[in-house]
Amino acid sequence: MKISIQKKLNNIEISRYELAKRVGITYPTVDNIYKGIFFKH
C-alpha cells in the first residue's frame, strides 16, 4: 500500500510536525509516510 500525504499537507498548509502532534504519532513516522517510506511488519 502506498500512502501519499505530501500534496494534502501542502494544500492545507500544515507541517509534518503539526500533523504528528494532532494525530498523536511520532514525527519520524509522519516523515517516513511523507517521503513514501512505509513498512508493515
pLDDT at 1: 63
pLDDT at 11: 93
Q: What is the mean pLDDT of the chain?
A: 87
Q: Within a 13 Å sphere around the CA of 2, how many CA atoms are in the beta-carbon half?
A: 4
pLDDT at 3: 67
The answer, yes or no, to whether residue 27 has pLDDT greater than 90, is yes
Q: Choose between 4 and 5: higher pLDDT.
A: 5
- Distance CA(33)–CA(16), nearest Å, equals 10
Q: Choose between 15 and 3: higher pLDDT.
A: 15
DSSP string, 5-37: -HHHHHHHT--HHHHHHHHT--HHHHHHHHHT-
pLDDT at 15: 95
